[in-house]
Amino acid sequence: MGQKAVMRRVKAGTKRVRAWAEDYPMAVNLAAGVLLGLYWLATRWWPDASIPRALGGSVKNEVLLALDLGAAGVATMTAGFAGVVIIFGLSGGGPRFRKLRQAGGQRLLANWVSVVAVSFTAAFLAVAAGVAALADWTQESVWGFLFACLLAAHGAARLVWLLTALAQVVKRTDKDEQIEADAVHIDDILRRTA
């Protein structure tokens, strides 16, 4: 098999994975949790690769608490902004928004719900990690913080992707409306000549 054929297969596979990730946001969250779990298992055999262990001995619990609460704040802001974006998508008028909502169906609904749900989950997980830091469970606090950051990052990235898609719909709608506004109708021409 030639290099071009391999590249085509890689591109096709990447496209399929991306489409799957776009359509199934909760599965991506689960995959992030599984990857973090595998990392946790790997640190049992290679302790030097453990970020929590490296931080656990040198970071005070007050610092962990501040990091955890900061992550909770970021996740909460993402959830709030997600609500604004979703309302924008739900209340957008015109045929293009209607077509987007109808064509998107269950997958679009899953994405809209996911950006809010994953952000709130990340916020609550970060708060729980903060409680773990207060209870002097340093390792648990750091692992909770890492998972909260993964979830919050996924929610924010998906939110930006959804916002970009909605902005493209608005751009096309504005273009259609401008073309309609700039169009000269035959009735206007006939009135002017009469």
pTM over 0.95: no
Distance CA 123, CA 186 (A): 59
Cα end-to-end distance, the chain, whole Å: 73
| Greatest Cα-to-Cα distance within the chain, rounded to the nearest angstrom | 90
Q: What is the pLDDT of residue 58?
A: 66
Domain edges within the chain? 3-180
Locus of tokens 């709608």: 173
Distance of CA 151 to CAs 95, 123, 162, 168, Å?
A: 34, 9, 16, 26
Q: What is the pLDDT along the chain (194 residues), one digit of tens a residue?
A: 788 877 888 888 888 888 777 778 888 888 888 998 898 888 888 887 777 677 656 667 888 889 899 999 999 999 998 888 888 887 877 788 788 778 878 888 888 888 999 999 999 999 999 999 999 888 888 889 999 999 999 999 999 988 888 888 888 888 887 877 777 777 766 677 66
